[in-house]
């Protein structure tokens, strides 16, 4: 047993060093392996491997926190879930993490355990022996080296370190007028994958909504968390400006291979944005900015419907959210959110007519 554990440890150490080829600006990496049974891997609710495997690796993970789930396919099916896995260290540099999915028959010892941790580096040898995926490209196994034009290295763009971002903000501050600030920001936006929080900090440097909207549009293509873009409306002073940004977000093309599930915090932010509007039509407009881009579970949809005052709005929302729902088998339970029989019937007919 000790010999087996030693061999696994040596193998995983070599594997992480071999695959730790991405510098921090390209994101972190996570490897999950099982010592017994094959499994499916889910990241933020999205399944990555089509066939069960005992080892899988996902690279180019540029958000700072993820929920990782392992579903075993053996005789005793079970699920392991670890929320809020951080891909960065205290200095803001990305990490290369390895987790052991322990499948011991004793329920008390089943766990998803951190097995190894290294800085995410580049220029290492590359001999892939496991199923390897690029984050945001589920069910598309990487074959050999990434083609820079294929959406791997440059799928979003580079990310700034904390020091680089602070220097960037200081440079913007040195420009007096919004037009000058926009020119400086515009030079950087096409090359950098700004997070939503970083974009918020940049927008605070602009005096007027016009400049804020212009930069928000520039930064959108490379933002790795478009599902949260609606929260940027808090940085705008006027209702007309908020509507312009919401219309822009809603009209952006959707990458169907990159539908993510919102975290609880992100869902709370969405609901907060809806509550800032008094009428259902305005709340639905906020919802429309994310409904086509996010994979919602029924539990989240139920919370969203509770924010709407009238059955007509609830029916509209339930119809918009259905295509990307990740557990449609539970959709019928939403009927309890409707008050009137007529709308219950309309909801039932809609669900029945879906393929």
Same-domain pairing of 261 and 221: no
- Shared domain check, 10 and 122: yes
* C-alpha to C-alpha distance for 203 and 215, rounded to whole angstroms: 8
Based on the fold, state whether residues 135 and 31 are members of the same structural domain. Answer: yes
Domain identity same for 31 and 118: yes
Co-location of 245 and 264 in the same domain: no
Do residues 166 and 212 both lie within one domain? Answer: yes
Mean pLDDT score, 8-19? 43
Last-in-domain residue among 150, 176, 211? 150
Regarding whether 167 and 40 lie in a shared domain, the answer is: no
For the ranges 91-100, 198-207, 315-324, the lowest mean pLDDT is seen at 91-100
Residue 80 pLDDT > 50, yes or no? yes
Same domain, 188 and 140: no
Indicate whether 106 belongs to any domain. yes
pLDDT (tens digit, 9 = 90+) per residue, 246-262? 999 988 876 665 566 77
Domain stops at, among 120, 150, 180: 150
* 16 part of a folded domain: yes
How many domains is the chain built from? 3
What's the first-to-final CA gap in the chain, in angstroms? 50
| pLDDT over threshold 70, residue 105 | no
In this prediction, residue 155 has a pLDDT band, given cuts at 50, 70 and 90, of: very low
* Residue 157 placed within a domain: no
pTM of model > 0.85: no
User: Tokens standing for 219?
Assistant: 């930064």
Instruction: Kindly state whether residue 65 falls inside one of the protein's structural domains.
Output: yes
Chain centroid to CA 57: how far? 17
- Average pLDDT on 53-59 reads 91
138 and 22 fall within a common domain: yes
Residues 178 and 317 both lie in one domain: no
Verify that 53 and 142 share a domain, yes or no: yes
Which of 99-103, 123-127, 263-267, 283-287 tops mean pLDDT? 283-287
**Residue-number span of the structural domain to which 202 is assigned:** 162-252
Q: What percent of the chain has pLDDT over 70?
A: 81
Inform me whether the pLDDT recorded for 132 exceeds 60: yes
337-344: long-range pairs with CB below 8 Å, 24+: 337/302, 337/305, 337/306, 338/311, 338/314, 339/311, 340/311, 342/311, 343/311, 343/312, 343/314, 343/315
| Distance of alpha carbon 42 from alpha carbon 259, whole angstroms | 12
Query: What CA–CA distance (Å, rounded) separates 276 from 272?
Result: 7
Q: What is the pLDDT of residue 2?
A: 46
| Single residue among 150, 171, 197 that ends a domain in this structure | 150
pLDDT, residue 182, reads 92
Residue 168 structure tokens? 């960037």
pLDDT at 135 > cutoff 50? yes
Is 23 in the same domain as 140? Answer: yes
Residue 155 lies in a domain: no
Task: Give tens-digit pLDDT for 287-339.
Answer: 998 888 888 889 999 999 999 999 999 999 999 999 888 888 889 999 999 99
DSSP state letters, 123-154: S------SEEEETT-TT----SSPPGGGTSTT
């Amino acid at each position: 047993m000790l010999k087996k554990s030693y061999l696994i440890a040596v193998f995983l150490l070599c594997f992480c060093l071999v695959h730790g080829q991405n510098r921090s600006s390209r994101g972190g990496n996570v490897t999950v392996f099982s010592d017994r049974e094959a499994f499916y891997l889910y990241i933020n609710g999205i399944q990555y491997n089509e066939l069960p495997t005992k080892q899988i690796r996902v690279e180019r993970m540029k958000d700072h926190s993820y929920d990782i789930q392992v579903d075993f396919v053996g005789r005793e099916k079970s699920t392991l879930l670890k929320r809020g896995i951080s891909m960065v260290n205290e200095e803001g540099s990305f990490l290369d993490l390895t987790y052991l999915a322990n499948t011991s028959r004793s329920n008390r010892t089943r766990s998803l355990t951190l097995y190894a941790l290294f800085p995410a580096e580049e220029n290492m040898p590359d001999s892939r022996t496991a199923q390897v995926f690029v984050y945001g490209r589920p069910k598309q196994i990487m074959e050999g080296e990434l083609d820079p034009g294929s959406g791997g290295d440059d799928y979003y763009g580079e990310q700034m370190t904390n020091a680089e971002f602070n220097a960037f903000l200081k440079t913007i501050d040195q420009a007096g007028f919004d037009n000058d600030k926009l020119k400086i920001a515009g030079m950087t936006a096409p090359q950098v994958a700004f997070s939503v929080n970083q974009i918020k900090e940049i927008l605070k440097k602009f005096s007027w909504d016009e400049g804020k909207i212009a930069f928000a549009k520039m930064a959108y293509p490379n933002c790795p968390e478009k599902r949260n873009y609606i929260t940027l409306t808090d940085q705008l002073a006027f209702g007309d400006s908020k509507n312009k940004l919401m219309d822009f977000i809603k009209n952006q093309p959707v990458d169907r291979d990159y539908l993510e599930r919102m975290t609880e915090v992100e869902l709370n932010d969405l609901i907060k944005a809806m509550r800032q509007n008094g009428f259902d039509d305005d709340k639905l407009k906020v919802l429309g900015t994310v409904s086509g881009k996010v994979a919602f579970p029924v539990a989240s949809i139920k919370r969203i419907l509770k924010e709407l005052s009238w059955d007509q709005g609830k029916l509209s929302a339930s119809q918009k959210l259905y295509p990307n729902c990740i557990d449609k088998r539970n959709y019928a339970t939403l009927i309890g959110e409707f008050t009137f029989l007529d709308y219950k019937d309309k909801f039932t007919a809609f669900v029945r007519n879906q393929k």
